[in-house]
A and B are shown apart, each in its own frame.
Chain A
Amino acid sequence: MPSLLDLTLAEARDGLAKREFSSLELTDAYIGAMEAARALNAYIVETPDKAREMARAADEHIAKGEAAGMTGIPVGVKDLFCTRDVQTTAGSHILEGFMPPYESTVTSNLWRNGAVMLGKLNLDEFAMGSSNETSYFGPAINPWRATGQDAKLVPGGSSGGSSSAVAARAALCATGTDTGGSIRQPASFCGLVGLKPTYGRCSRWGIVAFASSLDQAGPITRTVRDAAIMLGAMAGFDPKDSTSADIAVPDFEKAMTGDVRGMKIGVPKEYRVEGMPQEIDDLWSKGMDWLKSAGAEIVEVSLPHTKYALPTYYIVAPAEASSNLARYDGVRYGLREKGDSLIEMYENTRAAGFGAEVKRRILIGTYVLSAGYYDAYYLKAQKVRSRIAQDFSTAFATVDAILTPTAPSAAFALGAKTGDPIAMYLNDIFTVPAPLAGIPGISVPAGLSREGLPLGLQVLGKAFDEETVFRVAGVLEDAAGFTAKPETWWE
């Protein structure tokens, strides 16, 4: 039998159902791997005792024939989801020590579906970053290294702890959140599958808010099928989130029929950006060929406002962040620094508690919302955002899904882009449009770069049509046959 750690979520689920191993055995294997992978700094908090307790309960449920969708499956939780009585930091000093007295809806759904919590995963501070380097708790490290080199690479971000842990076999799967690409880009950098669902598919209740009109939770897994299973266990209507969609959760796994015959797949010409590495372009062409061979029709589409997605995002997201992060004031939770007056206490607390990137975004957000600038920046950006969404509506009138690269490069070295915020922002060029339009997108590992690093392809779909996204992604995954794994250098 292969190592328990190499099983996919679907295989582990089936193995548990057939009693080939217990959840406690599977969980113990992952606890061992998690502890052995500390050099990757993927976890901020490990919860092995809780994991074993949940695994024992899962084994009892299986014994009684009461298994749910993810019973006994060990998952890692991005440290942006509030978990009752388990420290939740959002990767920030300002929330260090915060013990939520409640559980987020998405994690509640996972536990109700039988999943087992291994711990809380590292991330960019308040999910603001594309490399996990803005975390107060230090960067998470990518288990992948370029062929013949030992330079440390970033795992992507903001869900960098999630992608690092799943790629290192230190979690079977993990939750992520995506505001501008924070699930899909780290999945691409670590050779994994990452899905950002339609806005409203997963409840945002109990997730530390970054940009509320963009934030969505989703799964990071090793296969498309695993993502379909995990999304089913995370999603669902929640009256506690006013933007939660009151529609039924389909059986996403069933949508993976392997049949894309007759489907129309759009390829947006505007994504062929200047300076895109040849190998990314080649991989994209390969993806088109794979889908064509499977019977789909490739159609060129135009998304004319694509180049404005990043500047729009860098107004809308900081504006919403500046409002959301106003709550960290040293009064109700987290850090408090001394001050002679209440205002001084606020100012000192926030100066000490937030890192440089978070401060930068709060200041930009405050500026674009301030009197005299609101119309020129924020209102303008929301109008351009309407245009970006219209571009997608027009395209989806003629195609069923859209195929693009996930990121303009493979994983880069730690520190390579920290000095230049714009260079870091450009990482999200292909992932930012989907959250601006509220549509679902998935990254599928599709090949290796010349340096031996994973590259992903992205499939975008219509709002609430994750089923088509999964179907197309499944066919891509089969055709790509991506089986590469990082070598275990961290133990």
Chain B
Amino acid sequence: MSVDKATVARIAHLARIAVPEENLEPLAAELNQILAFVEQLNEVDTGNIAPMTSVADMTLRRREDIVTDGGYPEDVLKNAPAAEHGFFAVPKVIE
């Protein structure tokens, strides 16, 4: 399997990274090099093998469904590039 310019443009948009037109071709070449490298996994027989879901032999703990943190909106907003009236501010999303 290999990727072309159009595929790179599509995944770049999925990943929300702007890629200038002139960079699509070189990026496709780089990604194809990596994809060719990982292709060798097809040599491994994984017929009856379960995919790994957890590297440690553990089950996820549950906790009480209660609020244990919060109450400091200033801290939460402190690093925001734009914040107004106690909210994160973003470019307008509805007309």
Check if B11 sits within 8 Å of A366, measured CB to CB: yes
Interface size class of A (residues with CB under 8 A): 35 or more
Q: A242-B61, A350-B16 are in contact. Are A384 and B44 (CB under 8 A)?
A: yes
Check if A380 sits within 8 Å of B55, measured CB to CB: no
CA distance A367 to B72 in the complex (A): 38
Q: Name the B residues within 8 Å of A335 (CB-CB).
A: 81
Q: Which of B1, B55, B58, B78 contacts A373 (CB 8 A)?
A: B1
Residue in chain B with minimal CB distance to A377: B38
CA distance A421 to B32 in the complex (A): 12
CA distance A332 to B83 in the complex (A): 9
Check if A341 sits within 8 Å of B91, measured CB to CB: yes
Q: Is B18 an interface residue (CB 8 A)?
A: yes
Residue in chain B with minimal CB distance to A85: B78
Residue from B8, B15, B33 having most chain A Cβ neighbours under 10 A = B15
Check if A331 sits within 8 Å of B18, measured CB to CB: no
Q: Name the A residues within 8 Å of B54 (CB-CB).
A: 213, 243
Residue from B7, B34, B72, B93 having most chain A Cβ neighbours under 10 A = B34
Stretch at the interface among A18-26, A145-153, A307-315: A307-315
Q: Is A305 an interface residue (CB 8 A)?
A: yes
Check if B55 sits within 8 Å of A213, measured CB to CB: yes
Q: Is B82 an interface residue (CB 8 A)?
A: yes
Check if B30 sits within 8 Å of A360, measured CB to CB: yes
Check if A389 sits within 8 Å of B33, measured CB to CB: no
Q: Is A285 an interface residue (CB 8 A)?
A: no
Chain A min CB distance to B87 (Å): 10
Q: Is B67 an interface residue (CB 8 A)?
A: no
Chain B min CB distance to A55 (Å): 28
Chain A min CB distance to B8 (Å): 7
Check if A329 sits within 8 Å of B16, measured CB to CB: yes
Q: Is B50 an interface residue (CB 8 A)?
A: yes
Q: A199-B55, A199-B56 are in contact. Are A334 and B79 (CB under 8 A)?
A: yes
Q: Can you list, as one digit per residue, whether each of A366-407 has a CB less than 8 Å from chain B (1) or not (0)?
A: 110010010011011111111101000000000000000000
Q: Name the B residues within 8 Å of A305 (CB-CB).
A: 44
Q: Is B66 an interface residue (CB 8 A)?
A: no
Q: Is B80 an interface residue (CB 8 A)?
A: yes
Q: Is A289 an interface residue (CB 8 A)?
A: no
Q: Name the A residues within 8 Å of B30 (CB-CB).
A: 360, 421
Q: Which of B35, B42, B60, B88 contacts A380 (CB 8 A)?
A: B42
Chain A min CB distance to B59 (Å): 10
Q: Is B6 an interface residue (CB 8 A)?
A: no
Q: Is B75 an interface residue (CB 8 A)?
A: yes
Q: Which of A350, A380, A425 contacts B41 (CB 8 A)?
A: A380
Check if A343 sits within 8 Å of B52, measured CB to CB: no
Interface size class of B (residues with CB under 8 A): 35 or more
Q: A99-B79, A336-B81, A354-B17 are in contact. Are A363 and B27 (CB under 8 A)?
A: yes
Q: Name the B residues within 8 Å of A72 (CB-CB).
A: none
Q: Name the B residues within 8 Å of A359 (CB-CB).
A: 17
CA distance A343 to B92 in the complex (A): 11
Check if B18 sits within 8 Å of A350, measured CB to CB: yes
Check if B16 sits within 8 Å of A343, measured CB to CB: yes
Q: A242-B61, A363-B15, A366-B15 are in contact. Are A437 and B81 (CB under 8 A)?
A: no
Q: Which of B1, B16, B37, B41 contacts A347 (CB 8 A)?
A: B16
Interface members, chain A 316-365 (any B CB < 8 Å)? 322, 326, 329-336, 339-348, 350-351, 354, 359-360, 362-364
Residue in chain B with minimal CB distance to A214: B55
Q: A343-B16, A346-B16 are in contact. Are A383 and B91 (CB under 8 A)?
A: no
Q: A333-B79, A362-B17, A366-B15 are in contact. Are A314 and B34 (CB under 8 A)?
A: yes
Chain B min CB distance to A266 (Å): 20
The 7 closest A-B pairs by CB, nearest first: A438-B55, A382-B51, A336-B81, A333-B79, A383-B46, A101-B75, A351-B18
A residues contacting B by CB (< 8 A) are 97-99, 101, 198-200, 213-214, 239, 242-243, 245-246, 305, 307-308, 310-312, 314-315, 322, 326, 329-336, 339-348, 350-351, 354, 359-360, 362-364, 366-367, 370, 373, 376-377, 379-387, 389, 421-422, 425, 435-438, 463
Given contact pairs A350-B15, A363-B15, enumerate 19 new A-B contacts (beta carbons under 8 Å).
Answer: A97-B79, A198-B56, A243-B54, A315-B41, A331-B88, A333-B81, A334-B79, A342-B90, A342-B91, A344-B18, A344-B91, A360-B34, A366-B15, A373-B1, A377-B38, A380-B42, A383-B51, A385-B51, A437-B55
Pick 10 A–B contacts, CB within 8 A, sort by A: A200-B58, A243-B58, A311-B38, A332-B79, A333-B80, A336-B81, A342-B92, A373-B1, A389-B55, A438-B55
